[in-house]
Amino acid sequence: MLNQLTISELAARLGRREVSAREATQACLDQIQRVDGKIHAFISHDAADALAQADAADKLLSNGGRGASRPLLGIPVAVKDVLAVKNQPLNCGSKILGKFISPYDATAIEKLKAAGAIVFGRLNMDEFAMGSSTENSAFGVTRNPWDITRIPGGSSGGSAAAVAADECIASLGTDTGGSIRQPAALCGCVGLKPTYGRISRYGLVAFASSLDQIGPFTKDVRDAATLLGVMSGHDLRDSTSVPQPVPDYAAALTGDIKGLKLGLPKEYMIGGLDPEVKAAVDAAVKQLEKLGAEIVEISLPHTDYAVATYYIIATAEASANLARFDGIRYGARVDGNDPIELYSKTRGAGFGPEVKRRIILGTYVLSSGYYDAYYLRAQKVRTLIRNDFLKAFEKVDAIVTPTSPTAAFKIGEKSDDPLQMYLSDIFTISCNLAGICGVSVPCGFTKNPKLPLGLQLLGKPFGEETMLRVAHAYEQSTSWHQAKAAL
Ligand code: GLN
């Protein structure tokens, strides 16, 4: 079925004119119709608009318009509800934005469209990307395609579930502390968080600006490389995007990793790690060795402080970023007798409990008297964490870890215990604090029930080529990425 194809498979068929973009898009829409009642990956989608884009793509295809500048011509890509797509709703999984329609495209979206993609749908997420399970959405929970009694991970749970359920060919998500890699692991797809500054954040509604990055969810590593190449690059509208040349990421996927040094952080094989996760990662490490990589034990000594550091910095930045949703500049207004009452009624009614918890925490750590004790200290620890990685990367080309300490947990299992929920990001958070890149690739399944597991590879700042080379070589030597959930 066309909706099950990868970008490269579908692009080849479209290029040979064996199939049309309309047929491929219709196949995705039919799959949504068939399974999304169970999964609820999409908050909404506009089928007519998707088909109109497909028809435009078909016209270009028949005029020989694919070419090198349009590697995504006719490929349906769905989008997390935190990225601005012109004339589409933008809710960030929250009630507070009401009926807001985006007046412009995010830079990453603009680039996808310029490359010919059919950009459609609003994918469910934890409100303002705060969460690890997609249970914190004002639009209901998303379910894991491998077991609908379980969470798909978060915060980009809709993006992961939609790709795993073949409701689109690929999708976009965002990653502040693991929100691409963790749901990718839990749903059995590939999820890539690029180096901070690699992709412009213009048009991404900010959660924690020094940590947020946009990235792809795909069915294989090659597709992730393709989307990364399309979306990367300097943007005058985001001063944190870096003017580094964009390499040909697909060309880096040589399959040859002989002689590469891969670091195994001794601090990551910890107590809370599920035995089946550990076994799968151990087997993956053996496989990498078989492919010719050299495994080196490394130390990231400040790992223990990562979760605490993250929850100070991320909440501090969130409390500042979310101040704009006040019912005057942004937000569905609830009137009051004076501005203060208007603000508090608007924010009280619009934000869900997790967002409120984070705003209160963030405001506290920034308040005078506590700023030095919490925020400033967290910034210092952040530097130590980054230095741990830079030091490790003097010895190794990439780092191997589990993506998540457990497979997908049950819906409701951790929702009353924020601390337990926060611990599900223990292996992904440091990467954002350090500003480096990371990718999760499927590396096996638990036995009973059968749930996907992810292997995380971490790369140097702007070291996506080597990181993806390792991920690709591993993936191609296994068949985990080809397994499909029974739906
Ligand atoms: N789960 C983490 C959090 O709740 C990370 C979220 C994200 O990466 N957006 O903050």
Mean per-residue pLDDT, 205-227: 98
Query: Of residues 132, 133, 137, 179, which has the active-site annotation?
Result: 179
C-alpha to C-alpha distance for 245 and 198, rounded to whole angstroms: 10
pLDDT recorded at residue 56 = 97
Q: Between β-strands 76-80 and 398-402, what pairing exists: parallel, antiparallel or unpaired?
A: unpaired
Distance 315 CA to ligand 1 centre (A): 10
**Contact, 224 vs 468, CB < 8 A?**
yes
Is the link from the previous residue into 449 a cis peptide, with omega within 30 of 0?
yes
Residue 239 pLDDT > 90? yes
Mean per-residue pLDDT, 290-300: 98
Residue 270 pLDDT > 80? no
| Better-predicted residue by pLDDT, 37 or 368 | 37
pLDDT tens profile 7-57: 999 999 999 999 999 999 999 999 999 999 999 999 999 999 999 999 999
- Measured in whole angstroms, how far is the alpha carbon of residue 168 from the centre of its chain? 15
Mean pLDDT computed over every residue of the chain: 96
The Cα angle at residue 436 between residues 235 and 223, in degrees rounded to 5: 70
Check pocket membership of 71 for ligand 1, CB cut-off 6 A: no
pLDDT recorded at residue 237 = 98
pLDDT recorded at residue 316 = 98
With bands split at pLDDT 50, 70 and 90, how would you rate the model's confidence at 66? confident
With bands split at pLDDT 50, 70 and 90, how would you rate the model's confidence at 63? confident
pLDDT recorded at residue 269 = 77
Q: Which atom of ligand 1 is nearest to the CA of 314?
A: 10
Check pocket membership of 425 for ligand 1, CB cut-off 6 A: yes
pLDDT tens profile 370-388: 999 999 999 999 999 999 9
- Residues 6 or more apart from 395 whose CB is under 8 A from it? 261, 263, 296, 298
Mean per-residue pLDDT, 185-202: 98
pLDDT recorded at residue 420 = 82
pLDDT recorded at residue 128 = 98
Read off the DSSP letter of residue 373: I
Handedness of CA 299, 252, 254, 227 (dihedral sign): positive
pLDDT recorded at residue 379 = 98
Mean per-residue pLDDT, 143-165: 98
With bands split at pLDDT 50, 70 and 90, how would you rate the model's confidence at 64? confident
Distance 134 CA to ligand 1 centre (A): 10
Check pocket membership of 131 for ligand 1, CB cut-off 6 A: yes
- Residues 6 or more apart from 272 whose CB is under 8 A from it? 405, 423, 426
Q: Which atom of ligand 1 is nearest to the CA of 179?
A: 8
Read off the DSSP letter of residue 204: B
Q: Between β-strands 398-402 and 452-459, what pairing exists: parallel, antiparallel or unpaired?
A: antiparallel
Q: Which helix (H) or strand (E) holds 420?
A: helix 418-423
**Contact, 411 vs 143, CB < 8 A?**
yes
C-alpha to C-alpha distance for 114 and 109, rounded to whole angstroms: 8
Mean per-residue pLDDT, 84-91: 98
Check pocket membership of 156 for ligand 1, CB cut-off 6 A: no
Distance 96 CA to ligand 1 centre (A): 19
C-alpha to C-alpha distance for 392 and 385, rounded to whole angstroms: 11
Query: Of residues 8, 80, 111, 414, which has the active-site annotation?
Result: 80
Place of tokens 């990467």: 431
Conformational region of residue 451, where left means phi above 0, alpha means psi within -120 to 50, and beta covers everything else:
beta
Residue 67 pLDDT > 80? no
**Contact, 463 vs 471, CB < 8 A?**
no
pLDDT recorded at residue 415 = 87
Check pocket membership of 215 for ligand 1, CB cut-off 6 A: no
Mutate to test the pocket of ligand 1, among 132, 186, 431 (most ligand atoms within 8 A of CB): 132
Q: Which atom of ligand 1 is nearest to the CA of 174?
A: 9
pLDDT tens profile 408-462: 999 999 988 888 888 889 999 999 999 999 999 999 999 999 999 999 999 999 9
Residue 307 pLDDT > 90? yes
Which whole-number Å values give the CA distances from 188 to 31, 33, 469, in the listed order?
18, 22, 19
Check pocket membership of 130 for ligand 1, CB cut-off 6 A: yes
Handedness of CA 411, 407, 130, 192 (dihedral sign): negative
Residue 271 pLDDT > 80? no
Check pocket membership of 388 for ligand 1, CB cut-off 6 A: no
Task: Dig out the tokens for 215 from the structure.
Answer: 């990235």
Cα dihedral 106, 111, 113, 116 in deg (nearest 10): -170
Identify the residue whose C-alpha is closest to ligand 1 atom 5. Answer: 177
Is 155 catalytic? The answer is: yes
| The model's pTM | 0.98
Residue 108 pLDDT > 90? yes
Which of 172, 179, 177, 237 is closest to 211 using CA atoms?
Answer: 177
